[in-house]
A and B are shown apart, each in its own frame.
Chain A
Amino acid sequence: SQQGEEDPQALSIQEGENATMNCSYKTSINNLQWYRQNSGRGLVHLILIRSNEREKHSGRLRVTLDTSKKSSSLLITASRAADTASYFCATGNAGNMLTFGGGTRLMVKP
């Protein structure tokens, strides 16, 4: 079953703006991961945040995790047209496989 649910399903912004995507999940987790998928291609791992971490940065990416609310957010700052893609969160808990959320389709207009 799909544990992660993402919000919004689709997001359209102008280049230079920030993009925020949210992921909610239902059960306890070991870690939460974010992936990007360009149209018709494979997923690319972006960042992993462990259950005992609250925030993590990688370049223009900022991920937060709130285990009390069972939610995470991915912030892309100063977006570029090349950031146009689908973004998926994936949750992992001990002894089980990663489960992907439904994804957010991001369009960044030049």
Chain B
Amino acid sequence: DTEVTQTPKHLVMGMTNKKSLKCEQHMGHRAMYWYKQKAKKPPELMFVYSYEKLSINESVPSRFSPECPNSSLLNLHLHALQPEDSALYLCASSRGEGRTNSPLHFGNGTRLTVT
């Protein structure tokens, strides 16, 4: 079992829908991440929050909007997605800030399908 919890596990949404992915960790980690992973590919970094502030945005389209309400929670708000956005979305956390290269703790992801 993972110490990073993601909900929902599966999500199917239309291109006009608005939905949110949620992530929670209680390890006291100060950095949290969103990754996108397509089948048979490595995870691709989307966003990094460090001490609840957005520190990295890897040129992600604005239809993805991250939010960090507190040090334990991370959300990803989705709006007007495209079918090519279908993927596994992974949340991760680490003890150190992202650039310190601390080991990442991943959740089990949300499998998103955009129809």
Chain A interface residues (CB < 8 Å from chain B): 2, 30-31, 33, 35, 40-45, 48, 88, 90, 92-98, 100-103, 105
- Which of B45, B48, B90, B101 interacts with A43 by CB under 8 Å? B90
Q: B104 and A43: CB pair below 8 A? A: yes
Q: B109 and A41: CB pair below 8 A? A: yes
Q: B99 and A97: CB pair below 8 A? A: yes
| Between-chain CB contacts (< 8 Å), 22 pairs | A2-B42, A35-B104, A40-B111, A41-B108, A42-B2, A42-B6, A42-B108, A43-B90, A44-B106, A48-B103, A90-B104, A92-B101, A93-B101, A96-B99, A97-B48, A97-B99, A98-B98, A100-B43, A101-B42, A102-B42, A103-B41, A105-B40
CB nearest to A32 among chain B residues = B101
- Which of B101, B103, B109 interacts with A42 by CB under 8 Å? B109
